[in-house]
Amino acid sequence: MTSESKPAHFLQNIIREDLAEGRVSKLATRFPPEPNGYLHIGHAKSICLNFGLAQEFDGTCNLRFDDTNPAKEEEEYVDAIKRDVSWLGFEWNGEARYTSDYFDQLHEWALYLIREGKAYVCHLSPEDARHYRGTLTEPGRNSPYRDRSVEENLALFEQMKNGEMAEGECSLRAKIDMAAPNINLRDPIIYRIKKMAHHQTGDKWCIYPSYDFAHGQSDALEGISHSICTLEFEDHKPLYDWFIGNLPVPARPRQYEFARLHLNYTVVSKRKLKQLVDEKHVDGWDDPRMPTLSGQRRRGVPPRAIRNFCEMIGVTRSDSVVDVGMLEYCIRDELDKNAPRAMCVMEPLKVTLSNYPEGREETLSAPGHPVRDDLPARELPFTRTLYIEREDFREEANKKYKRLVLGKKVRLRNAYVIQAEEVVKNDAGEIVEVICSVDLDTLGKDPADGVKPKGVIHWVSAEKNVDCEVRLYDRLFSDPAPDSGDKNFLDFVNPDNLKILQGCKAEIGLARAEPEQSYQFERNGYFCRDSRYGTAEKPVFNRTIGLRDSWAKEQNK
């Protein structure tokens, strides 16, 4: 669905009015991630919203790293976030920005508040400060340090800045109202001591602004017109407005909130995703099982599927849980339209065509896609020995089984009709080979005797193919709400979330498959070559998603 065919959401309406009535001359939004982890599917909602609005209303969208906490942040995350935003298909306005670019200005503004008598250095221990803060039902009490003189505060803050105080010894607090019903207004900390190098500013600072002191002012400095954030920041808005109202800022951004994306069978919290990585439940942030954008990319999810999904779920102010089946639907839909077709046998069973000459090889042609003529046709070598799927052959079967049965016919996809004549078994009684006859007068037509085979199965030449490993992923969690209530999400990691198959045989053209290029392995699902594992001789293919929703079936049982 495009934005034209869908009713406008509340933010589109607000922006349209602001522009029409001249309150805002140009829309300016931003996406402000904290570089403390990789972006996940929840962030995609915010990215598509902020960048999408800028595109729709001919405005700009900045990428700004909200990097006020050096303890948890890393350059690796900065790079990954940039890669992921670009991959989703968006371009930020100018260079990427950093809240740390504004540390000098924020420090100036802290001094400004002190001089105005609106900030003070407080020596309460974190524990005492908690007691003084009060609760939701009880007002707080004034800190005994609240009435320090401007001179004393300036001198103490200077000492904090110069590293003359220990971490936790004191902090700078805004002087607002300890009895305010909104706890965020009870003299919040605006600067704290952290003797720690920062990934952008190095050793320059040992005091860092709080997120709340930095966020709104950064928006003002960048001339952001609409500061769009998630609902949990609604309670912080009065504080942001207080800072904006009490500081000589160059602009007054307005904040609007929308509901976060929650997906069932998924966790979207960087902290929890980091735990999965650190405790090795997965193999890194970009593990194809992860709901991170880099994990989804490596798994073969096209960026457009994610954009379509974000469009489909819409933007509201009410919290709800979205069925992950919707995301899967968008992925299948996109892949079905665009993924070239190919054949790959997962568990090979050898077939020998007794009436096909040894050493002969012909090249059959198969369409790249059932309807997309722009996708090139494939060349399939056809030889005396082939592989079919082990589960596609039975010695005996009832009529429901429309595959190869001893004494019966089946069509090889894009090729001839064969008939199973004889079974070869090993000492253990397992079938190791099926001897078949091939009817060479059946390419693109029914057999001359009019007996039409009931089934079509996929195959590859046993003489010319790509030996590969295939990784079958399933949902990372087996519970629809793995982190709800007081559940520990780690208890619900799906034990069958990865199955690795070796010795799979793919059609020869897949030797040239590139990572992120998706294929439909006919009758099997959508796959792409892994970007990390495998070699030129033996690639690894990741299953992006099956052809059908097996979970819906499971639930309807």
Q: Which residues are annotated as a binding site for L-glutamine?
A: 66, 211
Q: Does position 229 bind ligand ATP by CB under 6 A?
A: yes
Q: Which of 475, 541, 499 is nearest to 339 (CA)?
A: 541
Q: Which is nearer to ligand ATP, 45 or 475 (CB)?
A: 45
Q: Which member of 12, 46, 60, 69 binds ligand ATP (CB under 6 A)?
A: 46
Q: Which is nearer to ligand ATP, 243 or 356 (CB)?
A: 243
How far apart (Å, rounded) are the C-alpha atoms in residues 153 and 147?
A: 10
What three-state secondary structure class fits 461? strand
Per-residue tokens: 512: 């040239």
Q: Which is nearer to ligand ATP, 98 or 120 (CB)?
A: 98
Q: Which member of 230, 246, 385, 517 binds ligand ATP (CB under 6 A)?
A: 230
Q: Which is nearer to Mg ion, 44 or 160 (CB)?
A: 44
Q: Does position 43 bind ligand ATP by CB under 6 A?
A: yes
How far apart (Å, rounded) are the C-alpha atoms in residues 96 and 337?
A: 34
Q: Which is nearer to ligand ATP, 34 or 463 (CB)?
A: 34
Give rounded-to-5 percent helix, strand, coil for the chain: 30, 25, 45
Query: What residues form the annotated binding site for ATP?
Result: 34-36, 40-46, 230, 260-261, 268-270
Q: Does position 327 bind ligand ATP by CB under 6 A?
A: no
- Number of amino acids touching Mg ion (CB under 5 A): 1
Q: Does position 45 bind ligand ATP by CB under 6 A?
A: yes
Q: Which is nearer to Mg ion, 35 or 348 (CB)?
A: 35
Q: Which of 344, 381, 364 is nearest to 457 (CA)?
A: 344
Interface of this chain with Mg ion, residues 410 to 439, rule: CB under 5 A: none
Burial of 550 per CB tally in 10 Å (0-12, 13-18, 19+): exposed
To Mg ion, the closest distance from the beta carbon of 122 in angstroms equals: 25
Q: Which member of 12, 28, 29, 42 binds ligand ATP (CB under 6 A)?
A: 42
Q: Which of 380, 335, 350 is nearest to 362 (CA)?
A: 380
Q: How far apart are the first and last CA of the chain?
A: 32
Q: What is the DSSP string of 189-247?
A: EEEEE----BTTTBTS-SEEE-HHHHHHHHHHHTT-SEEEEEGGGGGGHHHHHHHHHHS
Q: Does position 199 bind ligand ATP by CB under 6 A?
A: no
Q: Which is nearer to ligand ATP, 42 or 300 (CB)?
A: 42
Q: Which of 292, 321, 330 is nearest to 33 (CA)?
A: 292
Q: Which of 30, 148, 131, 143 is nearest to 90 (CA)?
A: 30
Per-residue tokens: 547: 């052809």
Q: What is the DSSP string of 291-308?
A: SBHHHHHHHT--HHHHHH
Q: Which member of 11, 29, 33, 286 binds ligand ATP (CB under 6 A)?
A: 33
To ligand ATP, the closest distance from the beta carbon of 42 in angstroms equals: 2
Q: Does position 270 bind ligand ATP by CB under 6 A?
A: yes
To Mg ion, the closest distance from the beta carbon of 31 in angstroms equals: 12
To Mg ion, the closest distance from the beta carbon of 68 in angstroms equals: 10
To ligand ATP, the closest distance from the beta carbon of 209 in angstroms equals: 15
Out of ligand ATP, Mg ion, none, which partner does residue 229 contact, by CB within 5 to 8 A per kind? ligand ATP
Burial of 9 per CB tally in 10 Å (0-12, 13-18, 19+): middle
238 φ, ψ (degrees, to nearest 5): -60, -35
Q: Does position 408 bind ligand ATP by CB under 6 A?
A: no
What three-state secondary structure class fits 173? strand
Q: Which is nearer to ligand ATP, 268 or 346 (CB)?
A: 268
Burial of 493 per CB tally in 10 Å (0-12, 13-18, 19+): middle
Q: Which member of 269, 316, 320, 363 binds ligand ATP (CB under 6 A)?
A: 269
To ligand ATP, the closest distance from the beta carbon of 94 in angstroms equals: 19
To ligand ATP, the closest distance from the beta carbon of 219 in angstroms equals: 11
Beta bridge partner(s), residue 362? 382
- Positions annotated as catalytic residues are 34, 260, 270
Per-residue tokens: 21: 């009535």
Backbone dihedral region for residue 224 (phi beyond 0: left; psi -120 to 50: alpha; all else: beta): beta
Query: What residues form the annotated binding site?
Result: 34-36, 40-46, 66, 211, 230, 260-261, 268-270
Piece of the chain touching ligand ATP by CB under 6 A; list 41-49, 157-165, 182-190, 549-557:
41-49
Residues 36 and 81: beta-carbon distance below 8 Å: no
Q: Does position 221 bind ligand ATP by CB under 6 A?
A: no
Interface of this chain with Mg ion, residues 19 to 58, rule: CB under 5 A: 34
Out of ligand ATP, Mg ion, none, which partner does residue 33 contact, by CB within 5 to 8 A per kind? ligand ATP
Piece of the chain touching ligand ATP by CB under 6 A; list 27-35, 100-108, 144-152, 478-486:
27-35
Per-residue tokens: 43: 């962030």
To ligand ATP, the closest distance from the beta carbon of 46 in angstroms equals: 4
Out of ligand ATP, Mg ion, none, which partner does residue 216 contact, by CB within 5 to 8 A per kind? none
Q: Does position 34 bind ligand ATP by CB under 6 A?
A: yes
Cβ-closest residue to ligand ATP? Answer: 42
Q: Does position 261 bind ligand ATP by CB under 6 A?
A: yes
Burial of 502 per CB tally in 10 Å (0-12, 13-18, 19+): exposed
How far apart (Å, rounded) are the C-alpha atoms in residues 422 and 108?
A: 87
Residues 459 and 388: beta-carbon distance below 8 Å: yes
The residue with tokens 């912080």 is 236
For ligand ATP, the binding residues (CB under 6 A) are 32-34, 42-43, 45-46, 229-230, 260-261, 268-271
- By the criterion CB under 5 A, which residues form the site for Mg ion? 34
